[in-house]
Amino acid sequence: MAESVLFRIVKKQGQAELETLKELLEAREPAKVGNQKGGSMSIEESKAIVRRFTDEILNEKNLDRADEIMAQDYVDHGAMPGQAPGLQGSKSKWSMWVAAVPDLRVRAEDMFAEGDRVAVRWTAKGTQSGNLLGIPASGRSFRFTGMSVFRVAAGKIAEQWEEWDKLDLMQQLGVVPVAAH
């Protein structure tokens, strides 16, 4: 009888240790998010796709890469007034920025991800040498900040929400006067 109790205690401790080990191993594996192809992507893979958007499309000005990085039914929740929907409309917006600000640089300051969302706090800087948002070339340099949230699905960016400091940009371009303190 004593052997039976001892056996049960050891067995119970062994099961508890196995459960603890299993939890530790699961915690070490990167989180996965499902995609439309039925596979899964790690959060790091989703962040890498968003980095490609910033690096290849905005900084390297390679708009042809958009077809590789963005979903064909991409939704731009930060569309400009009158912007056509979908990826083609967004390509037109990015093309306008690239033409007006050839030295545009966007830098991710912080990047966080959870599930299928990637959030980025970023800084954009450059010199306006062409028509930008209806504003004639000013030759002025600018620097402003913003935040974007991307939804990644099937290995591509499917949606983007963005908020950036438009007033700050307009003041730096000389369109809106800076308020006196």
pLDDT band at 8 (very low <50, low <70, confident <90, very high): low
Average pLDDT, the chain: 85
CB burial of residue 74 (10 Å; 0-12, 13-18, 19+): buried
Q: Could you tell me which CATH number the domain at 32-172 has?
A: 3.10.450.50
Query: Hey, which bits of 82-169 come out as E strands?
Result: 105-114, 117-127, 141-153, 156-164
Instruction: Quote the pTM value.
Output: 0.76
Query: Is the pLDDT assigned to residue 114 strictly greater than 90?
Result: yes
What are the tens digits of pLDDT across the range 121-142? Answer: 999 999 999 999 889 999 999 9
Domain residue extents for the chain: 1-30, 32-172
What are the tens digits of pLDDT across the range 16-69? Answer: 555 654 554 454 444 444 444 445 789 999 999 999 999 999 999 999 999 999
